[in-house]
Amino acid sequence: MNIRRRAMTAVAITTGMVLAAGACGGGDGEDDKPGRDSTPTSSAERSKDEGAEDPSEDQGSGQTLAEVKSNGITLTVTSAVRDEGGFLTVSGTVLNGKSGRWIGAEWASDEQELKKNGGSLAGASLVDEAGKKKYLILRDTEGRCLCTQFQGGIAQGATTEWFAQFPAPPEGSNKVQLQVPSMPPASIDVSEGE
């Protein structure tokens, strides 16, 4: 009888713990109310619902800083932000106006360490004319560029986003030229990150 009583007590304690754990996982009960959608929303969606501005608009997305064209390819720069860590991140879009798939081979770097990046922005550089310095693309410890790699290429008529990171020019140097192989230089204004 003593063994049976212990087994019943163990079952009762285990059941109580399972019920308690289930009650703790319910949050504040807001999701259980009728008519409440339980799908998560991003902060951008919540901001739009609340009448606030879209955060991407604050960062100047969609604003064209520079656009250059060569051989059917259009490179657009939409952002050039200096980070606190001493980096400059440049980003934008590239449009393939050629016939057929474009793989970005002409934008690859000539540097031995960066050759394995293939079609990418590894060959890009920044020139600070005022400071008379050229900044090469950053890379990780395995020799991969801190930039977009166009794996699989870009289909004819398609547009894709890109980014590239460089050492930041010193504060006060707010105008630089982005140089990408086979493209004319693009003069861009640098903005300060938050």
φ, ψ of residue 5 in degrees (nearest 5):
-65, -40
Reported CATH class of domain 57-192: mainly beta
- Decide which of 193 and 181 is more confident: 181
Could you tell me what percent of the chain has a pLDDT over 70?
68
Q: What are the start-end ranges of the E strands in the chain?
A: 66-70, 73-82, 87-96, 125-128, 133-136, 159-167, 175-179, 186-189, 191-192
Map out the domains of the chain as residue ranges.
57-192
pLDDT at residue 85, as a whole number: 86
pLDDT at residue 108, as a whole number: 83
Mean pLDDT, rounded, of the chain: 75
Q: How confident is the model at residue 7 (pLDDT cuts 50, 70, 90)?
A: very low
Tens digit of each residue's pLDDT (9 = 90 or more) over 62-88: 689 999 999 999 999 999 999 888 999
The span from the CA of 79 to the CA of 184, in Å, is 18
Tens digit of each residue's pLDDT (9 = 90 or more) over 117-164: 778 888 899 999 888 999 999 999 888 889 998 888 999 999 999 999
- Decide which of 15 and 150 is more confident: 150
Q: How confident is the model at residue 93 (pLDDT cuts 50, 70, 90)?
A: very high
pLDDT at residue 114 above 90? no
Question: What residues contact 191, with CB distance under 8 A and at least 6 apart?
Answer: 60, 79, 80, 81, 82
Q: How confident is the model at residue 113 (pLDDT cuts 50, 70, 90)?
A: confident
pLDDT at residue 8, as a whole number: 45
Distance of CA 6 to the CA centre of its chain: 58
- For the chain, the farthest-separated pair of C-alpha atoms sits apart, in whole angstroms, at 92
Q: How confident is the model at residue 21 (pLDDT cuts 50, 70, 90)?
A: very low
The span from the CA of 181 to the CA of 154, in Å, is 17
What would the mean pLDDT of 188-194 be, rounded to a whole number? Answer: 84
pLDDT at residue 194, as a whole number: 63
